[in-house]
């Protein structure tokens, strides 16, 4: 027997969002850089926000409550309330990691029958830091240096010897048109411009394999997020390769931001004025 099915009518069934995550048209938090990006409990870091519009400073609040186990979102709802009037307001925030941060967010347990928190894929635990401005709430995360849990003394000793605190990546950006470098102050109109990132070498770091509880190592993965105030980008995030920017057809100026992130929470940001004419 031969037969053939026919489809009479069929159409697409999904919403069409105009999603342009790379376009900055209103005050927006671009990135937060902590220096250093990893701290032991009790350590101090300077956390700096980059905001798309000058003259705006966020208010800061350290979040000391861990999210419930099993919740997808990384921050406890109790940390989402409006910051108090006494919260510091500046682009920089002096962060002091609480001495018990590895018990609140990491593998240390206060009681023997507490469940230790699980690390991320790079073996890291993080202290949240909230910042708010013009109605937007964001959270940065400072990586914590905690002792590994569930391993033998030998593995723990080897891990302590091998581990290196995370460092922020270094990022530079150049512009190219048809393979030739061009200056950011003289970009052509209505053309495809390649923004080319250059990153330093990725770090290799010690890691406890969560399946075997043995010491291993891994290499950071890094991405570059791109944001612009005008034109159109083909890729909002790249893994080391350029993104193509379609410049506007009439003269103007704007800003490009490149935000490099490593997989252990390190961040670098480049703010680059653009002029197209």
Partner 1 sequence: MSVLLAVLLSQVDGGTLITAPRQAAPGSSVVRGADLVTTERDPGRAFRQVPGLARSSPGTSDVVLWGASPGESRFFVEDIEVPSLLHLGGWRSIVAPALVGRLEVAPGAFRADLGRSLGGLVKLGLAELPTGAHVDTSIDLTTASAFASLGSERVRGSLSGDFSLLPTVFAPLLQGLARDRYPLPASVDAQGRLWLAPTERDTVDVLALTSSDESRQQVASADPSLTRGQQRTGWFARVGATWRHGESDDGFSVAPFVGVDRQNRTVLSAVGQATSTEQRWSAGLRARANGSITDWLTLQYGVDAVLGRTAFGRTGPPGFPSREGDVVAFGEPLSNEVAVDAWRTTAVDAAIWSTADLSLGPVTISPGLRLSAVSSDVSRASVRIAATPPLGLSSLEVLLEPRGRFSWTIVEGLRLAAAAGLTHQAPDGADQSVVFGTPALLSAQGAHAALGASVVAGFIAADATGFWRGSTGLAVRDPGALPAVTNALLSTGEGRAFGGQLEVRQRAWHGVSSSLGWTVGRSERRDGPTATWRPSDFDQLHSLVATVVWQPGAWRFGARGRWATGSPRTAVIGSYVDVRLGVSEPLFGTQNALRLPDFLQVDLDAAYTFALWTGSLEVFLSVLNVTNHRNVEEFAYDSTWSTRGALLGLPLVGTLGLRGAW
151 belongs to the binding site for partner 1 (CB under 8 A): yes
158 belongs to the binding site for partner 1 (CB under 8 A): no
How many residues make contact with partner 1 (CB under 8 A)?
Answer: 75
Residue of 150, 188, 190, 273 interacting with partner 1 (CB under 8 A): 150
d(CA 41, CA 215): 22
Q: How far is the CB of 131 from partner 1 (least distance, A)?
A: 8
Cα-based distances in Å from 96 to 42, 47, 73, 144: 6, 10, 24, 12
85 belongs to the binding site for partner 1 (CB under 8 A): no
Residue of 25, 26, 68, 86 interacting with partner 1 (CB under 8 A): 68
Residue of 7, 25, 26, 161 interacting with partner 1 (CB under 8 A): 7
Residue of 27, 36, 57, 75 interacting with partner 1 (CB under 8 A): 75
121 belongs to the binding site for partner 1 (CB under 8 A): yes
Residue of 56, 57, 87, 109 interacting with partner 1 (CB under 8 A): 109
Residue of 42, 88, 188, 210 interacting with partner 1 (CB under 8 A): 210
29 belongs to the binding site for partner 1 (CB under 8 A): yes
32 belongs to the binding site for partner 1 (CB under 8 A): yes
What sign results for the dihedral spanned by CA atoms 244, 27, 21, 126?
Answer: positive
Give the tokens for residue 80: 């989402």
Segment 164-203, which members bind partner 1 (CB under 8 A)?
Answer: none
* Local structure of 202: helix, strand or coil: coil
8 belongs to the binding site for partner 1 (CB under 8 A): yes
What backbone torsions phi and psi does residue 157 show, to the nearest 5 degrees? -65, -45
Q: What is the CA radius of gyration of the chain?
A: 23
Task: Name the DSSP class of 89.
Answer: B
CA angle 34, 172, 272 (to 5 degrees): 85
Segment 36-65, which members bind partner 1 (CB under 8 A)?
Answer: 65
Which among 198, 196, 185, 193 is positioned nearest to 255, based on CA atoms?
185
d(CA 92, CA 20): 28
* Phi-psi map region of 212: left, alpha, beta (phi>0 left; psi -120 to 50 alpha): alpha
Residue of 182, 192, 206, 236 interacting with partner 1 (CB under 8 A): 236
């Amino acid at each position: 027997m031969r037969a053939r099915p026919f489809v009479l009518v069929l159409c697409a069934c999904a919403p069409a969002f105009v999603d342009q995550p790379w376009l900055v048209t209103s005050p927006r938090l671009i990135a937060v850089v902590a220096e250093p990006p990893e701290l032991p409990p009790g350590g101090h870091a300077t956390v700096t926000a980059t905001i798309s519009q000058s003259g705006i400073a966020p208010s800061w609040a350290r979040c000391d409550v861990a999210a419930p186990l099993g919740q997808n979102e990384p921050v406890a709802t109790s940390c989402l309330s409006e910051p108090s009037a006494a919260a510091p307001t500046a682009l920089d925030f002096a962060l002091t990691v609480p001495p018990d941060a590895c018990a609140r967010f990491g593998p240390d347990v206060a009681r023997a029958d507490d469940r230790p928190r699980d690390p991320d894929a790079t073996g890291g635990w993080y202290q949240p830091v909230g910042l708010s401005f013009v109605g937007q709430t964001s959270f940065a995360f400072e990586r914590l240096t905690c002792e590994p849990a569930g391993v033998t003394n030998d593995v723990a000793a080897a891990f302590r010897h091998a581990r290196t605190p995370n460092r922020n990546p270094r990022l530079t950006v150049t512009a190219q048109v048809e393979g030739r470098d061009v200056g950011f102050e003289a970009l052509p109109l209505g053309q495809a411009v390649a923004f080319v990132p250059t990153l330093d070498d990725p770090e290799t770091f010690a890691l406890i394999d969560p399946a075997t509880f043995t010491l291993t190592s891994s290499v950071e993965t890094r991405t570059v997020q791109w944001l612009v105030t005008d034109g159109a980008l083909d890729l909002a995030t790249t893994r080391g390769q350029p993104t193509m920017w379609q410049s506007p057809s009439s003269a103007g100026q704007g800003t490009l931001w490149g935000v490099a992130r490593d997989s252990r929470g390190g961040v670098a940001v480049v703010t680059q004025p653009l002029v197209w004419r």
